[in-house]
Amino acid sequence: EVQVVESGGGLVQPGGSLRLSCAASGFSFSSYWMHWVRQAPGKGLVWVSRINSDGSSTTYADSVKGRFTISRDNAKNTLYLQMNSLRAEDTAVYYCARGPTWFDPWGQGTLVTVSS
Partner 1 sequence: DIQMTQSPSSLSASVGDRVTITCRASQSISSYLNWYQRKPGKAPKVLIYAASSLQSGVPSRFSGSGSGTDFTLTISSLQPEDFATYYCQQSYSTPYTFGQGTKLEI
**Chain residues in the site for partner 1 (CB under 8 A):** 35, 44-47, 50, 59, 61-62, 95, 101-109
Q: Which long-range contacts (CB under 8 A, 24 or more apart) does 97-100 make?
A: 97/4, 97/34, 97/35, 97/36, 97/37, 98/2, 98/4, 98/24, 98/27, 98/32, 98/33, 98/34, 98/35, 99/32, 99/33, 99/34, 99/35, 99/50, 100/32, 100/33
As measured in angstroms, the least distance from the Cβ of 98 to partner 1 is 10
As measured in angstroms, the least distance from the Cβ of 13 to partner 1 is 27
For partner 1, give the closer residue by CB, 86 or 93.
Answer: 93
As measured in angstroms, the least distance from the Cβ of 116 to partner 1 is 29
For partner 1, give the closer residue by CB, 2 or 14.
Answer: 2
For partner 1, give the closer residue by CB, 80 or 95.
Answer: 95
As measured in angstroms, the least distance from the Cβ of 45 to partner 1 is 4
